[in-house]
Amino acid sequence: ALGGAGHVIASGLARGIDAAAHEAALPTGTVAVLACGLDQAYPPQNATLQDAIAERGLLLSECTLGAPPIARAFPRRNRIVSGLSVGVVVVEAAAKSGSLITARRAVEQGREVFVVPGSPMDPRHAGSNSLIREGAILIRDANDIMSVLGRPQVTPQAVEKKSQITADTLTATVVAALGSVPTAVDELVRRCQVSAASVAEVLFSLELEGRLERHRGNRVSLI
């Protein structure tokens, strides 16, 4: 449902829920962030899925080619997943799940955190339920997520206009539309009259340069 609404699904290509999310999103767009080199198949049972994402989606890694998956690489991978996203969805997390690291990174980065609740008696949901107690948004289905994030706004006119302007001009346009007061990304897209993807690319660059701050509600401001 999220993919059909225009959202791209990013995850870490782990077994289980990660793999299911990537598979479901292959027709509409998915990004897999690896905790190893791009030439490594990890976990091995997801090798076919990894190849499919390379052909139809996007594989990302900050590790060098040939780098094996090591423990300290996974929290770093999780921060990239949350950093790429406007919101993080936790479906099931035990008390020591790596998903909790991703969720807390998301909070630090100003992203929304959505959680599917579970039985308080089930240890597989202990971490998930603790996130809800800490203020994460409880969700029942994709509609609950879209009621917060909305739908990405991309128009043929916006895509065409993107090709007519340089990267420097685009950055200047986005910066001029921003200020110290948090602004919704959807409003920024409307002001700049370019595609949501173009605005997201500029915002990511500004964030890497330390010039942008993200806030709850998919809002951003200049630092």
Residues 88 and 132 in one domain: yes
Residues 184 and 116 in one domain: no
Higher pLDDT, 3 or 80: 80
Residues 57 and 100 in one domain: yes
Among the residue ranges 114-118, 160-164, 195-199, the one predicted with the least confidence is 160-164
The number of distinct structural domains making up the chain is 2
Range of the domain at 87: 9-149
Residues 78 and 142 in one domain: yes
Within a domain: residue 32? yes
Residues 134 and 173 in one domain: no
Task: Check which CATH number belongs to the domain holding 165 and give it.
Answer: 1.10.10.10
Residues 120 and 181 in one domain: no
Within a domain: residue 2? no
Confidence of residue 160 (pLDDT cuts 50, 70, 90): very low
Given this model, what pLDDT does residue 149 score? 85
Within a domain: residue 178? yes
Residues 144 and 175 in one domain: no
Given this model, what pLDDT does residue 208 score? 83
Which element (helix H / strand E) includes 140?
Answer: none
pLDDT tens by residue, 26-35: 999 999 999 9
User: What percent of the chain is modeled with pLDDT above 70?
Assistant: 93
127-135 long-range contacts, CB within 8 A, separation 24+: 127/90, 127/93, 127/94, 127/95, 127/96, 127/97, 127/99, 127/100, 128/90, 128/91, 128/92, 128/93, 128/99, 130/95, 130/100, 131/90, 131/93, 131/100, 131/103
Task: Check which CATH number belongs to the domain holding 133 and give it.
Answer: 3.40.50.450
Q: Look at residue 189 and tell me whether its pLDDT is greater than 90.
A: no
Residues 119 and 174 in one domain: no
Residues 135 and 210 in one domain: no
Q: How far apart are CA 93 and CA 101, in angstroms?
A: 10
Residues 174 and 127 in one domain: no
Residues 144 and 164 in one domain: no
Given this model, what pLDDT does residue 201 score? 80
- Average pLDDT for 182-206: 85
Given this model, what pLDDT does residue 196 score? 77
Higher pLDDT, 185 or 126: 126
Within a domain: residue 3? no
Given this model, what pLDDT does residue 11 score? 96
Given this model, what pLDDT does residue 221 score? 92
Residues 191 and 144 in one domain: no
How much is the mean pLDDT over the chain? 89
Q: Look at residue 109 and tell me whether its pLDDT is greater than 80.
A: yes
Domain boundary, last residue among 99, 115, 149:
149
Q: How far apart are CA 87 and CA 110, in angstroms?
A: 9
